[in-house]
Homo-oligomer: A and B are copies of this chain.
Amino acid sequence: MSNVSTKSYVVGVDIGGTNCRAAVIDHAAGKIVARSLNIPSRAMDGEQYTAQQVVEAVRQALDNANLTLDSIAGVGVAVPGHVIPQEGKILWAPNFYGQWRGVYLAKPISEALKVPVYLGNDANLAALGEYTYGVGKGTNHLVMITLGTGIGGGIIIDGKLLTGSNGGAGELGHIIIAANHHARGGNTAYGTLEGLAQRDAITERAARKVAEGRQTTLLTPNYDRILLTPQIICDAALAGDQLSIETYEETGYCIGLGLASIIAIFNPEMIVIGGGIAQAGPILFDPIRRATQANAIGTLFSTVKIVAADLGDNAGIMGAAALAIIESAKVD
C-alpha cells in the first residue's frame, strides 16, 4: 500500500465512565472497518490504568483489522469532560470516578503506542463525526446536540470544530432557557436545557403527570416511577397515550427554545439531534420543530435543517477518528 492510502486508516476511541472501546476507521471510505471489545475503562484505578486500557483497545481494534500501528494516521480519543486538546489534558471529567481533574491522558497512550494521540470532548467529537462521516457531510455550519443522561453539544463553523479559548466550548446543555424553573441538570444552573430536557427531566415530567392521577397506560399494575424510562414513555406515546405524548411535546418545546437561541447565535445550515433520546422520532422532532420555528428569527429558521443524527453510538468514536486525521495532517 502507498503511504497515502495507508494513512487513510485511523483509530477512534470512546472512553466512558465504565467502558472504553476503539474502532479502526477507513477515513476515505468513511466507515468503521474493525472494532475492539468493550473493555473496562478503569477510571477508578487511576489514569495510568485507563491509559493501558485504551492502548489495549487500540491494539485489539487494529488486530481485528489486520493492521499495524504503522498504518494509522493517529489515535483520537473522545472523553466525557472538559478537554484541553492542544495539551492532551483532561481538565475536568465529572463522570470519571473521583471526578478527574488535570489529567494528561494523551501522553502515556502516545508513548505506549508511538503514534500521535489527540483528545477531544465526546459531544464535540460527535458533532465532528456527523459532519465528517454522517448526516452533516457537505455542510459548513453545523450544530449538534446530544440528548441523553446529560446534554452535550458540538459546533462546526466553516468546517472547523469550535473548541473555544480553552477547549470548553459547545456545552449546549448549559444554555439557560427558563431561569425561573427549579430544574437543574447534574452540574448545570437552574433552568438549563439539560435540566429541562435530559433523560431524568423526561421521566420526571411523565411521573409528575401520573402522580396527578391522570388517565394513562403508564400506570400499569407494576408501575414504579423509578423504573420509568424515555423508551417506555415513547412507546406509550406512539400507542396513543395522551400523557406520554404531552411529555414529549413539552420536552420538544424546551429543546426548541434552546435551538431558537442556537439559531440566533450561529445561523447554522443544519442542527443535528443525536443521543438515545432522539431515537423517539417524530413524536419528539415535530414539537421540536414547531417550538423552534415559533421562537427563532424567521429569516434564520427558514434556512436551517433540523435533522436526526446518522451515526448513532458511533458518532463520538468516528469524530475522534476525524480529529486524528485533521490534527495529524497539520503536523505533516
> Which residues of A line the B interface, CB within 8 A?
82, 91-92, 140-141, 153, 155, 157-158, 160, 162-181, 187, 189-191, 257-258, 260-262, 264-269, 294-297, 299-300, 303-304
Contact = CB atoms under 8 A, between A and B. Distances in A.
A300 B269 CA distance: 27
Given A91-B299, A171-B265, A177-B177, 16 more contacts: A163-B267, A164-B267, A164-B268, A164-B300, A165-B267, A165-B269, A165-B303, A171-B267, A175-B261, A175-B265, A178-B179, A179-B295, A189-B294, A189-B295, A190-B295, A265-B265
Most chain B CB within 10 A, of A166, A167, A172, A304, is at A166
Contacts of A167: 267
A180 B304 CA distance: 25
B168 A300 contact: yes
B294 A172 contact: no
A266 B174 CA distance: 11
Nearest to A168: B267
B264 A171 contact: yes
Contact of A157 (B162, B178, B260, B296): B162
